[in-house]
Amino acid sequence: MRFTSEQRLDDGVLEREFTLGEIPGILWTPGSASAPAPLILLGHPGGLHQMYPRLVARARHCAAEGFAAATIELPGSGDRPRSAAAEEARADLRRVLEAGEPVGDEIVDRLVLPLVEKAVPEWRAALDTLLPLPGIGEPVGYAGGVISIGVRLAVVEPRISAALLYAGSFVPRVILEEARQVGIPLQVLLQWDDEWNDRQMALDLFDAFGTREKTLHANMGGHTGVPQFEGDDGNRFFVRHLK
Amino acid sequence: MRFTSEQRLDDGVLEREFTLGEIPGILWTPGSASAPAPLILLGHPGGLHQMYPRLVARARHCAAEGFAAATIELPGSGDRPRSAAAEEARADLRRVLEAGEPVGDEIVDRLVLPLVEKAVPEWRAALDTLLPLPGIGEPVGYAGGVISIGVRLAVVEPRISAALLYAGSFVPRVILEEARQVGIPLQVLLQWDDEWNDRQMALDLFDAFGTREKTLHANMGGHTGVPQFEGDDGNRFFVRHLK
């Protein structure tokens, strides 16, 4: 791992860009902390540059509560090499959506499963690298999309103690089944009128999660319309479970 | 209106029992307040004595945030005269539930609509009486069940500015239609495994509400299993909209 840039934001948060092999990432740590800060992994749909304004806002919000935050680029997004199969699946999805046809399991599987297979080990490798850094420590939380990555991580990564998942993308049936094995506390955000998300699928997924400590927060509006107060609610969720 | 008893609770909250004509009620006001305290009406399924422990806990929670709280007995509950028709509807419902049969619209209408018709004017009369008291003022919130009473109040009572509704009872179709007219901010609590509540009906009701500012909080567990942190979330909801 190599830090490639470092800047102190106006609220004292230290922002460091890094690369982990070929994978770019960003680490944010609170300006002042007496104990190691629990780390929250910030999930996103891919494209660190476009996502940066939303990610840094969430990271600052985390830091205000004493949490560190980190994110990495997804396979096939941003400056990382494209996957021909993923591009084809995305094009097929676009075609189906534009035709107003129902999105079949086969497209969802092709679109999401290879991404999960590749991304999850990368997030785990990032944890291996980030957790030994001074000022950062367990427990770890995961917050954001892609929800299928969050589900798989919650199942396979024992260092993750709580997850705040954004129900905002297609979920393969395999992942729906895996959800039954999730045993950690969850908070699930659902945008009721999400143009990219099947509401019933999201409710089925929420129902499927095996954990007894799960809360669904549904709000009005589209994919990017999550109300600001959900940021505070998310912090309180992590304070309950990571502190 | 006549106050029948008065006691100061250990956290300084003043608890006063009152009667409004034949209707018993309880008013809680914060120990210290510089400005008139916004009033939160505490809805419940009827039976002030049995409900008292939960109501006083919610009232103290409200008072800690600077809100006054008040509740009145429902028609046909507690020491108030029974309605033969309501008792019959309740017996019919019990029979249907015990037989494991689906609960028909006709029983729900007979059970809930006369209660709404009678209770809503009583809650409004309570507002007329309580709001002029020193230390209490608008805006007003409504928090609790019976959800059909909350929906009707939200539609007809302009002094109510926000409502925290507990989806935990059968909802007549008429009320589902009225929900479209609700324009105030709502937070809706849904117990995912509520033994008294049809989950799909609750989701349909949430979908039907006309307001753009509505949030659904679904948690695991049965009717009385609402997690403690929802009390804090409810307070923050009212702080956003009543202060």
Q: Is B46 a domain residue?
A: yes
* ipTM of predicted assembly, 2 dp: 0.85
Q: Is residue A213 part of a domain?
A: yes
Token readout for B209 is: 């509400």
- Two tokens at A227? 């109300």
Nearest CA in chain B to A207: B192
* B34 band by pLDDT with thresholds 50, 70 and 90: confident
* pLDDT average, residue stretch B212-218: 96
- With an 8 Å Cβ cutoff, the interface of chain A facing chain B consists of 192, 203, 206-207, 212-221, 227, 229, 232-233, 236, 240
pLDDT at A194 over 90: no
Q: What is the mean pLDDT of residues B191-215?
A: 90
The chain-wide mean pLDDT, for chain B, equals 94
State the Cα–Cα distance between residues A138 and A69, nearest whole angstrom: 12
Residue A188 corresponds to which tokens in the numbers above?
Answer: 């699930």
Give the pLDDT score at A60.
96
pLDDT per residue as tens digits for the range B46-92: 999 999 999 999 999 999 999 999 999 999 999 999 999 999 999 99
Cross-chain Cβ contact B217/A213 below 8 Å: no
Residue of A nearest to B217 (CA): A217
Query: Which residues on B lie below 8 Å from A240 (Cβ)?
Result: 229
Per the CB < 8 A criterion, the answer to whether A140 and A120 are in contact is no
**Angstrom distance (rounded) from CA A242 to CA A236:** 10
Q: What are the tens digits of pLDDT across the range B136-157?
A: 999 999 999 899 999 999 999 9
Q: B218, A229: Cβ pair inside 8 Å?
A: no
Task: Report whether A30 contacts A41 (CB < 8 A).
Answer: no
Residue A91 lies in a domain: no
Q: Are strands A68-72 and A23-29 parallel, antiparallel or unpaired?
A: antiparallel
Q: What is the pLDDT of residue A34?
A: 76
Nearest CA in chain A to B222: A212
Please indicate whether, in this complex, the C-beta atoms of A215 and B218 are within 8 angstroms of each other: yes
Closest CA–CA distance from residue B188 to any residue of chain A (Å): 10
C-alpha A185/C-alpha A125 separation (Å) is: 23
A226 → chain B, closest CA residue: B215
Q: Do B65 and B239 form a contact (C-beta atoms < 8 A)?
A: yes
Cβ contact A169:A112 at 8 Å: yes
pTM confidence score:
0.91
Q: Is residue B108, in this structure, part of any structural domain at all?
A: no
SS3 (DSSP) at A4? strand
- Look up tokens 């507002």; give the residue: B127
Number of domains composing chain A: 1
- Tell me, yes or no, whether A97 lies in a domain: no
Contact call for B220 and A214, based on CB within 8 A: yes
Partners of B214 on chain A (C-beta within 8 Å) are 219-220
CA dihedral B182, B183, B187, B188 (to 10 degrees): 20
* Span A3-27, pLDDT tens digits: 999 999 999 999 999 999 999 999 9
Judged by CB atoms closer than 8 Å, whether chains meet at A236 and B229 is answered as: yes
CB-based contact A213 B233, cutoff 8 Å: no
Instruction: With respect to residue B185, please indicate whether it lies within any of the assigned structural domains.
Output: yes
CATH no. for residue B10? 3.40.50.1820
Residue B140, token pair as written in the block = 């007003």
How far out from the chain centre does Cα A163 lie?
Answer: 9
**Interacting residues of A224 by C-beta distance below 8 A, sequence separation 6+:** none
Confirm whether A154 is domain-assigned: yes
Is residue B95, in this structure, part of any structural domain at all? no
Give the closest of A213, A217, A236 to B215, CB-based: A217
Question: pLDDT confidence of A53, banded at 50, 70, 90?
Answer: very high
| Average pLDDT rounded to a whole number, residues B158-184 | 95
Query: In the prediction, which pLDDT does B44 show?
Result: 95
Q: How many separate helices (H) and strands (E) can be counted in chain A? A: 7, 9
CB A104 within 8 A of CB A12: no
Which residues on B lie below 8 Å from A193 (Cβ)? none
Chain centroid to CA A53: how far?
A: 15
Q: A229, B213: Cβ pair inside 8 Å? A: no
Classify residue A83 as left (phi > 0), alpha (psi -120 to 50) or beta: beta
- pLDDT over 80 (residue A197): no
Tell me whether residues B220 and A213 touch, CB distance under 8 A: yes
Please give the residue range of the domain that contains residue A208.
Answer: 2-82+115-242
Summarised one tens digit per residue, pLDDT across range A126-177 is 999 999 999 999 999 999 989 999 999 999 999 999 999 998 778 999 999 9
Contacts of A207 in chain B (CB under 8 A): 192
Which residue of chain A has the CA closest to B233?
Answer: A233
Express each pLDDT in A84-119 by its tens digit: 999 999 999 999 989 989 889 999 999 999 999 999
**pLDDT at position A102, please?**
87
Tokens of A25: 């990432």
Detail the DSSP E strand segments found in B30-175. 37-42, 68-72, 136-144, 160-167
Query: How many secondary structure helices (H) and strands (E) does chain B include?
Result: 7, 9
Average pLDDT (B169-198) is: 92
Residues linked to residue A115 through DSSP beta bridges, in sequence order: none
- Asked if A44 and A144 count as a contact pair (C-beta separation under 8 A), the reply is yes
Among A192, A215, A236, select the one facing B219 at the smallest CB separation.
A215
Which segments of chain A are extended strands (E)?
2-8, 14-20, 23-29, 37-42, 68-72, 136-144, 160-167, 186-191, 214-219
Smallest Cβ–Cβ distance between B217 and the set A212, A217, A221 belongs to A217
